[in-house]
Structure 1
Amino acid sequence: MDTPATIPQGKKHPKGLYLLFFTEMWERYSYYGMRAVLMLYLTAAAISGGLGMDTQQAALVYSLYTGIIYFTPIIGGYLTDKFMGLRTAITIGGVTMAVGDFTIFLFNNQWGLYIGMLLLIIGNGFFKPNISTHVGELYHPMDKRKDAAFTIFYMGINIGAFFSPLVAGFLAEDLFHTTDAAGIEHFGFKWAFLASSIGMIIGQLIFSTLGKRYLGDIGTKPARTNIAAEGIPTKMTSADKKRTGAVLILAVFIIFFWAGFEQAGTSLTLYTRDFIDRSVGGYTIPVSWFQSVNPLFIVILAPIVSAIWLKLSKSKRGDFRTTTKMSMGMILLGLGFLILVPAVLYTGSDEANIVHRANILFIVFTYLFHTLGELCLSPVGLSMVSRVAPVKIASLLMGVWMAATGIASLIAGKLAGLTATLGYVEIFSIIGAAAIIVGLILLTVSKKLQTMLDARD
C-alpha cells in the first residue's frame, strides 16, 4: 500500500478535471433550467401555457420526477461497471437527455411532458454517476487533493445551475410572457425547455471533441476490464465491506438533508411566489430566478471552502473528518429553515388574504445557510464515495449514493404538498428541527463511521 509520502499529489489539478467541469456545467444547466420552471408550468392554467394542476398533484409529479431521476443511476452505474466505459455511458446519457428536453418543447402537453421526463430519467442514469466517478479516476485513491477537486467540480455544477434559471425564467416569465385583451397571462414555458435541450447538446459536443485530448484512455474501458488488467482482487475484502457499509449508513443520513434541501423547487418556490416581496427598484423579480441564488452562493463560496479544506489537510491539526463535515451540513440546513419561520409568522400562510409580504432577505439568507450546508455535505460526499468505493462497484455505489437523493425527493414532495393543509410555518419548523437533530446524531457517531471509511486490509 502507498504511504502518504509516496502517494502522487501534484501541485495542480489535471486538465481533465476542467473538461468534466464544463461537461457537468452544461448538464446541470439543462437540468436546473427545466426544474426552475417545472412547478410553475405544472400549476399554471392550461390557457396560460401550463398544465393546470393543483398544488398537491403538481408536487407529486415534481417529486416523482426529481426522485426517480436519482434511482436510475444505480442501473446505469451497474451497466457501466460491467459492460461499457465511463465515456460511452456519459455520451449515451447526454444525448438521451437532450432528446428528452426537446420532446417536452416539441409537444408542450401532458403526454409530451411524461415522455420527455422518461427520457431525462433514463439519460441521467447513465450520465450522473459516471461523470462523478470519472472525476475520482483522475486522482490516486489517497490523493489529498480529492476533496478540493470535487469542490471545484461542484462549482461547475452550480455555474450551470446559476445561469439556467435566469435564462429559463427570462424566456418563460419575461420574453414570451404576454397578457391578452381579456387580461389572461400567457407564459413561454416551452422555450425554457428548448434552452435546456440546447445546453445539453453544447455540453456533449465539448465532451466528445476534447475527451481524448484531456482524458487520454481514462474511462474508456469497463471497470471489470481494468480489474482484470491490473490484477485487482474480484472478491470483496473485509475492508471493502466495512467501507461500503459506512457509505450505505451515511446514505441514510443524507436523505434527511436532501428532503429539506429539495424544498427549493416546491414549497420554497411557491412561498416565494405568494409571500415574498420580489420588487426591487420597481422591477418584479421572476420567481424562477430565485433558483439561481443557491448556485450563485456556491460559485462564490466554493473556492473559499475548497481552500479551507486544503489548508486544514496540510495543517498539524489536520482536516475535519468527512463525517463531521457532513453533520455540519445537516445543522446548517436546519438553521436555514428556522431563519424563514419568523417571515412566515409575519405574512401568514393564506395567499388569498395577504396583508404583508416578507422582506426578500429572509429567503436569501435561507438559501445562504442551505448553500453552506450543501458545501459541507455534497461535494465531500462525492469525494468520499469515489475514494472508498471498491473498484469493481465504484459506479454502482455512486448510483446508490445518488439514490438516497431520490428517496429524499419523494419525501420532499410529500412535505411540500402538506403546506396546503398544515401551513408553511409548521412544515419549515419541522424540517429545520429534524435536520439539526439528525445532524447532531451524525456528529456523535462520526468517529466510528470514519474508522469504517478508513478501513484497509
Structure 2
Amino acid sequence: MSSNNQNIQDIPQKGFFGHPKGLSTLFFTEFWERFSYYGMRAILLFYMYYELSKGGLGIDQGTAASIMAVYGSLVYMSGIIGGWIADRLLGSARTTFYGGVLIMFGHIVLSFPGSLTGLFVSMGLIVIGTGLLKPNVSNIVGDLYSKEDYRRDSGFSIFYMGINLGGLLAPLIVGTVGQEYNFHLGFSLAAIGMFIGLVVFIFTKGKYLGPAGSNVPNPLTAAERKKVFSRFGIGAIIVIILGAITIPTGILTINGFTMIVSILGIIIPAVYFIVMYRSPRTTEVERSRLLAYIPMFVAAMMFWAIQEQGSIILARYADQRTLLDFAGIEIQSSWFQSLNPLFIVLLAPVFAWLWVKLGNKQPSTPKKFSVGLFFAGLSFIVMIIPAIVNGTDTLVNPLWLVLSFFLVVLGELCLSPVGLSATTKLAPAAFSAQTMGLWFLSNASAQAINAQVVKLYSFDTEILYFGVIGGISILLGLLLFLSSKKIHQFMRGID
C-alpha cells in the first residue's frame, strides 16, 4: 500500500465543499501566491519596455517579450529542483514554505527603484522560489485523496479556481496601481500578497493537512547527501565564475541566454523521461504509463505555447493595437490579464460538476487534451479576423481579445486541471513530486520555445503569426484524438 493511502485516514476528509479540509489551506496559499505572481507579470512587460521617462527600463520590445518568455520558462523549469528537494530532502510541505519565502523577497527587490541588475536578481529569487512552491503545493493536493477517490478531478478543479481567483484580482489591483501611479508600488503589493499566503499556510497546515506533504518518498542516504551537496557547491562556483567572465565581456548577451534556455527546454524533459523510464525503481506498469504520458506532455507544450502568450503577445496587442477607451470607460492594458482567470473562475465549477456528473462516462484524459488543443488553436485563429477586415494600422475593438481569452480558457479547463490530476495518477511512486515538476516542465518547454517565437511577431506578420500557430494546434489536437484509444491502453487502468 502506498504511503498516500496509509495516511488518508489521518487527514480530515470532509469540511471544504465536500472535500478534505486541507484543500482550503492549499486553496488560499496558492490564491495569494498567484496574486503575487500574476500581479507582477501584469506590469512586468510594460515596466521593461516603457521609456525611462515613464518609469520603465527602456528595453527593446522584442527583447522584453523574449525575456518574459524565458522568465516564465525558468519559473516552471525550476519545478524540477523543487520536486527533487521534496522527494529526496524535505517533503512537499516544508519545500512549499521555503519557496514562498524566496518569492516574497523577489517581489521586495522589484519594489525598490532599480536597474536591469535589480530586475535579474528579483527574477532569480522568484524563479527558484516558485520552483520550490508550485509543484509541491499541487502534489499535496494529490496527497489528500486516495488514488481511487472519484473526487480527485473535482478537487483539482476547485484548487485551480483558487489559483485563478488570485490571478483575477491581481492585474486589476497591482496593474492599476502600477500603471496609474508607480510600477514599484505595484510590485510591493505583490510582495504583500505572498506574505499573506505564507501566514495562511503556517497557521492552518498542522490542523488541516495532517501528514499530507510531510513524507519524503525517496530520502538521500548520508553518503548521497555528502556527494550531492559537494557537487551542488562546485556547480554553483562554476556558474558564478562563468557569469563573472562572460557577462561583463559581452560573450553572454540577453539573446544568447534566451537561446540557451530554449535549447534546455527541449533537452531537459527528454532526459527526464529517459531517467525515470530506465530507473530500477520504476515498475513495468509505471513504464507503460510513462509512455502514455509522453503524447499528453507534447500536447500540453503546444497548449501552453499559446496560452502563455496571453501575457506577452496579447499583452502587447492590448497595449498597442486595442481601443482602450471603450463604452465610456478608460481601460488599463494590464486589465486584460484578468480575463483568463475571470473565465476560469466562472467556468471551473461548471467543469468540476460536469466531470462528477459524467462519472465513468466522461471522455478519457487524452480526448480531453485533444479538445483543449482545438480551443487553443481557435483562440489564435480568431485574432486574424480584425487584421484581415481592417488591416493592422487601426485600433481594434477590445471584444476580440475577450473572445480569444474565452476560447483558450475552454481549452485550459479541458487540459490543465485534468493534466494535474493525471500526473498524480500516472507518476511512478519513487518520482511522485518530480513527475509533478515534469508536468510544469511542459509549460517551461513551451515558454522556452516561445522565447524565440515571440520575436517573430510584429504588426506586419500578425496574420501569418496567429494563423500558423493556431493551425498547428488544431492539427495536433486532431492527431491526439485519433490516437486516444491507443494511449488509453498504455495508461493501464488509469482513466
Residue 34 of structure 1: which of 37, 40, 56 is its match? 40
Matching residue's letter, 2:302? F
- Distance (Å, rounded) in 1 between the aligned partners of 2:179 and 2:64: 19
The Cα of 1:60 is off from its aligned counterpart by 1.5
Cα deviation digits, residues 264-291 of structure 1 (max 9, x gap): 0111111122222222332220000000
2:462 to 420, 424, 443: 424
Contact in 2 for aligned 1:24/1:131 (Cα 8 Å):
yes
| Amino acid in structure 1 at the alignment position of 2:199 | L
Q: Which residue in the other structure is 2:209 paired with?
A: 215
Q: Deviations over 1:196-248 (max 9, x none)?
A: 111011001000011001111221231236xxxxxxx9822100111122223
Q: Match of 2:222? A: none
User: Structure 1 residue 403 and structure 2 residue 441: aligned?
Assistant: yes
Query: Which 10-residue stretch deviates more, 303-312 or 403-412?
Result: 403-412
* Residue 320 (structure 1) aligned with residue 363 (structure 2): yes
**Cα separation, 2, equivalents of 1:236 and 1:247:** 14
Listed one character per residue, the Cα deviations across residues 93-146 of structure 1 (whole Å, up to 9, x for unaligned) are: 000000011111124321111000000011111101101110000000121111
Aligned AA for 1:437?
L
Distance 1:417 1:347 in 2: 24
Equivalent residue for 2:384? Answer: 341
Q: Distance in 1 between the 2:61 and 2:461 partners?
A: 13
Q: Of residues 373, 381, 384 in structure 1, which corresponds to 2:411?
A: 373
Contact 2:43 2:179 in 1 (8 A): no
> For the Cα contact (< 8 Å) 1:415–1:427, is it kept in 2?
no
Deviations along 1:308-336, one digit per CA (max 9) or x if unpaired, are 1110115xxx1110110011000011111
Partner of 1:92: 98
**Which consecutive residues of structure 2, in runs of 5 or more, have no partner in the other structure?**
3-7, 220-278
Partner of 1:299: 345
Amino acid at match of 1:280: F
Residue matched to 1:448: 486
What amino acid is aligned across from residue 337 of structure 1 in structure 2? F
The residue aligned with 2:163 is: 157
Cα deviation for residue 412 of structure 1 reads 2.2
**Aligned partners of 1:444 and 1:249: how far apart in 2?**
12
Write the distance in 1 (CA, Å) between the matches of 2:450 and 2:281. Answer: 38
The question of whether the paired residues in 1 share the 8 Å contact of 2:295 and 2:480 is answered with: no
Q: Which moved more, 1:358-367 or 1:418-427?
A: 418-427
* CA distance in 2 between partners of 1:347 and 1:374 (Å): 30
Give 5+ residue unaligned stretches, structure 1.
177-187, 226-232
Does the alignment pair 1:140 with 2:146? yes
The size of the alignment, in residue pairs, is 426
In 1, the alpha carbon distance for the partners of 2:129 and 2:438 equals 16
Moved over 3 A (4+): 7-11
Q: What's 1:201 paired with?
A: 195
Q: Deviations over 1:37-69 (max 9, x none)?
A: 111111100121111111111112111101111
Asked if 1 retains the 8 angstrom alpha-carbon contact of 2:42 and 2:337, the reply is yes
Measure the CA separation in 2 of the matches of 1:113 and 1:60. 15
Counterpart contact for 2:139–2:213, Cα < 8 Å: no
Cα distance in 1, alignment partners of residues 161 and 404 from structure 2: 20
Q: Pick from 50, 57, 65 the counterpart of residue 51 of structure 1.
A: 57
What's the counterpart of residue 383 of structure 1?
421
How do residues 101-180 of structure 1 correspond to structure 2 at under 5 angstroms? 101-174=107-180, 176=181
| Conserved 8 A contact 2:66-2:450 | no
Amino acid at match of 1:406: A
CA distance in 1, matches of 2:427, 2:166: 28
Query: What is the TM-score normalised by the length of structure 2?
Result: 0.83
Written as runs of structure 1 = structure 2, the 5 A alignment for 1:69-84 is 69-84=75-90
Supply the AA of the counterpart residue of 1:38.
Answer: L
Calculate the aligned-residue CA RMSD, in Å: 2.1
Deviation at 1:455, TM superposition (A): 4.8
- Kept in 1: contact 2:178–2:187 (CA 8 A): no
Deviates more, 1:404-413 or 1:79-88: 404-413
For 1:282 and 1:44, the matched residues in 2 are separated by 26
**Normalised by the size of structure 1, how large is the TM-score?**
0.89
| SS of structure 1 residue aligned to 2:148 | coil
Instruction: Return the alpha-carbon distance in structure 2 between the equivalents of residues 166 and 57 of structure 1.
Output: 26
Partner residue in 2 for 1:270: 316
Alignment match of 2:332 (pick from 277, 286, 290) = 286
3-state DSSP of counterpart to 1:223? coil
SS in 2 for 1:70: helix
Distance 1:454 1:19 in 2: 33
Contact 1:248 1:401 (C-alpha < 8 Å) held by counterparts: no
Does the CA contact (< 8 Å) of 1:234 and 1:392 recur in 2? no
How far is 1:421 from its partner? 7.5
Change (3 A) 1:57 1:32: same
CA distance in 1 between partners of 2:33 and 2:213 (Å): 19
**Higher mean C-alpha displacement, 334-343 vs 276-285:** 276-285
Cα distance in 1 for residues equivalent to 2:366 and 2:481: 7
